[in-house]
Structure 1
Amino acid sequence: MRKLIPFLILFIFSIPWTSEARVFSFEKATFGNYLRGNYGLSFANQDSYANSSGWGLDFDKTPTYNLGGEFGFVINSEYLGLRFGAHVISPENIFSSKGEDDAGDTVMEVNSHVSAIFGVGYLEFYFF
């Protein structure tokens, strides 16, 4: 039976599937939805947990990147667009970051998971 699994997978993926895609034409459509993702460098440093137990602790790990996504709707006219939606952003999760005091003693370990969700709105002008 185990020898049949690769052939079954190959058979399933070799079946032709049909799909359709909608293209959002700014000239014809006036309403649509959008999905956007982003990835970039994080400037959060240790702000989410550095002062959790007083001043003077130094942690060995910091977030290096942010992940985010946005979903919303767009209302469009010939020269103007209005987008509104929700944006979620989260810096890199930190696990077992050791916090040391000025003497070099490990005082605590931190696991950090921070995320934020907020509403966004954009007003766009089309010049061309």
Structure 2
Amino acid sequence: MSEKQKPAEAVRDFFDFFHKKDTVSMKLMMVDHIILNSLIISETKGRKIIHTPVDSFLKSIAQIPDSVSFEERLIQIKTTNSKDIATVNASYEFYMNEGFTHNGTNVFTLLYIDDKWKIASITDTRQYP
């Protein structure tokens, strides 16, 4: 029997798939009816909450042209978990075509189902300069 994967490892795997635009693998890591919310923070536009349907989120990733490079660099990861539920908080910096675009914090809620961690929700902040 293999050792149980840690929640932070599941989040790192999610970002590996994200950077490869492997939306099929990303979707397999999520529960049905996942909740995706973002708090957009802009000095010029203020604060705004955006809810994104999962299909729209995955489609937007799949449509990123191959000519565009992007990377979400996780800076610091903190995990709180019990046997069956976990939260993973990860501060990050986002880069597109090697240029910094924004930073923030991701908060993943994961549930342990079918011998693996599955993502139940992702809430993030996006701080724009």
Q: TM-score range by the shorter chain?
A: 0.3 to 0.5
TM-score, normalising length: structure 1: 0.37
TM-score, normalising length: structure 2: 0.37
Structure with greater contact order relative to length (CA < 8 Å, sep ≥ 6): 2
Q: Name whichever structure is richer in helix by fraction.
A: 2
